[in-house]
């Protein structure tokens, strides 16, 4: 039997076929229903839904390989370049991060790449803090109005800028940290978990350290995750790597599992607030299902660092959009024209291409 008819490819193929059939049915239904006065024509609406699905699939693939969760790309892009209310964008961003994590959990767990005991230990801190952060976001939105909208966008842009600096200066050299001796918490809970690494063709038995500090760090990460509504892989990967000495690829696998578990809790305050719109969220969710599973299958086989520069470029564009949008909402600067946004995007993509080519040459 062909491998395409066996798990996990069988499930992926079924999901793609179901998605295609669903959008065909929606398109037929939209064509048969008359457009209400002042409403959006059905054909345009279906086009937007299909575009959301494709964009979500691509975001899920890139984010899962990088271990950062789809929300870290979805939320900044939507808040920077669309008029969607920030609560809706952040609530949907948590759904995006959650489902990319849930779909990636199976492959990374089966391969032994994700450290199950470590994930359960950290999930306690992440879930509680993410719920608290989401509650804080609802309060801020209710009290500060449009000024608060601009403030959240500016703050998120600065956070993304700091993350970009981390990926540029720290992401390459710390793929395999050398931890000589594990700490007492790691030893007491038996958190070490050897796994077979296909790219090295050997079993890797890595040490872990400073797990108490990492638990505290994940509390802070969870607060930010719930407040900004973009998951927390953008911080969980470097926190695991820098604080505990977790190999970068293992940290990425742990991160996607934590997102699937913890964001289930964080999304509830947005849900109770009415900030989750099914028609808007559904295509993004479906794309995360398809892209998250495919990205996880790729992550098991390759190094997470291969997409680092592409993520830097996309996050750089999000950072630009968030900061300029916030400043224009405060009327400090005019809203950047489309040609300027396009120019920034082209410059960032050229920067990405140059660095990817350079890394490929060094690898050869």
pLDDT per residue of the chain (364 residues) written in tens, 0 to 9: 566 666 656 766 776 777 777 777 777 777 777 777 766 676 777 777 788 888 888 887 777 666 666 676 777 777 766 777 777 887 887 777 777 677 777 777 877 888 888 988 998 888 888 888 888 877 777 777 667 767 877 887 887 788 788 777 765 545 677 777 788 888 888 888 877 777 667 787 788 888 889 999 889 888 877 777 666 666 787 788 878 888 877 887 888 888 888 777 778 787 887 777 777 777 877 787 777 777 777 766 655 456 567 667 777 877 887 788 788 878 888 888 878 877 887 898 788 778 877 766 665 5
C-alpha span between 23 and 13 (Å, rounded): 16
At 88 the pLDDT is 81
The DSSP string of 42-81 is HHHHHHHHHHHHHHHHHHHHHHHHHTS-THHHHHHHHHHH
All residues at 6 or more sequence positions from 85 whose CB lies less than 8 Å from its CB, including other chains? 275
Q: Are 97 and 71 in contact (CB under 8 A)?
A: yes
- Cβ count near 111 (within 10 Å): 18
The angle, 0 to 180 degrees and rounded to 10, between the axes of the packed helices 42-66 and 248-266 is: 130
Give Cα separations from 285 to 63, 77, 90, 279, 292 (angstroms).
14, 16, 14, 10, 10
All residues at 6 or more sequence positions from 322 whose CB lies less than 8 Å from its CB, including other chains? 76, 79, 80, 153, 154, 156, 157, 160
Q: Are 319 and 157 in contact (CB under 8 A)?
A: yes
Q: Are 51 and 44 in contact (CB under 8 A)?
A: no
**By C-alpha distance, which of 257, 290, 317, 244 is closest to 57?**
290
Q: Are 95 and 281 in contact (CB under 8 A)?
A: yes
Burial category of 66 from C-beta neighbours within 10 Å (exposed 0-12, middle 13-18, buried 19 and up): buried
At 132 the pLDDT is 86
Q: Are 30 and 46 in contact (CB under 8 A)?
A: yes
For CA atoms 255, 258, 260, 262, the dihedral sign is negative
Give Cα separations from 13 to 10, 19, 25, 233 (angstroms).
5, 10, 19, 27
At 8 the pLDDT is 59
The residue count for the chain? 364
What residues pair up with 275 in beta bridges, in sequence order? none
What is the number of alpha carbons within 13 Å of residue 23 lying toward its C-beta? 21
pTM comes to 0.68
C-alpha span between 278 and 270 (Å, rounded): 13
Q: Are 318 and 160 in contact (CB under 8 A)?
A: yes
DSSP SS3 for 364: coil
Read off the DSSP letter of residue 172.
T
All residues at 6 or more sequence positions from 236 whose CB lies less than 8 Å from its CB, including other chains? 67, 122, 126, 218, 221, 251, 254, 255, 258, 259
């Amino acid at each position: 039997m062909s491998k395409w008819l066996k798990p996990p490819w069988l499930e992926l193929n079924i999901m793609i076929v179901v998605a295609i059939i669903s959008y065909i049915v929606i398109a037929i239904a939209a064509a048969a229903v008359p457009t209400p006065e002042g409403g959006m024509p059905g054909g345009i609406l279906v086009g937007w839904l299909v575009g959301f699905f494709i964009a979500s699939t691509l975001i899920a693939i890139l984010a899962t390989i990088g271990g950062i969760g789809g929300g870290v790309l979805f939320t900044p892009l939507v808040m920077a370049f669309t008029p969607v209310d920030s609560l809706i964008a952040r609530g949907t961003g948590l759904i995006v991060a959650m489902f990319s994590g849930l779909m990636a959990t199976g492959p990374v767990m089966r391969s032994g790449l994700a450290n199950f005991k470590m994930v359960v230990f950290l999930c306690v801190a992440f879930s509680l803090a993410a719920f608290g952060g989401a509650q804080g976001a609802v309060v801020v939105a209710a009290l500060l109005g449009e000024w608060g909208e601009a403030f959240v966008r500016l703050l998120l842009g600065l956070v993304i800028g700091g993350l970009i600096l981390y990926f540029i200066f720290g992401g390459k050299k710390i793929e395999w940290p050398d931890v000589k001796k594990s700490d007492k918490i790691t030893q007491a809970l038996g958190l070490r978990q050897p796994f077979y690494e296909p790219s090295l063709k050997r079993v890797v038995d890595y040490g872990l350290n400073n797990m108490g500090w990492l638990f505290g760090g994940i509390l802070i990460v969870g607060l930010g995750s719930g407040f900004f509504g973009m998951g927390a892989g953008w911080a969980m990967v470097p926190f695991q790597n820098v604080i505990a000495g977790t190999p970068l690829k293992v940290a990425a696998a742990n991160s996607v599992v934590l997102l699937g578990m913890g964001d289930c809790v964080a999304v509830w305050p947005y849900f109770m607030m009415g900030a989750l719109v099914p028609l808007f969220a559904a295509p993004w969710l479906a794309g995360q299902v398809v892209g998250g599973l495919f990205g996880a299958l790729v992550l098991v086989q390759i190094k997470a660092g291969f997409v680092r520069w592409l993520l830097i470029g996309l996050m750089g564009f999000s950072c630009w959009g968030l900061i300029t949008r916030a400043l224009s909402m405060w009327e400090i600067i005019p809203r950047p024209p489309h040609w300027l946004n396009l120019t920034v995007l082209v410059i960032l993509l050229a920067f990405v291409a140059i660095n990817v080519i350079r890394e490929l040459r060094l690898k050869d």
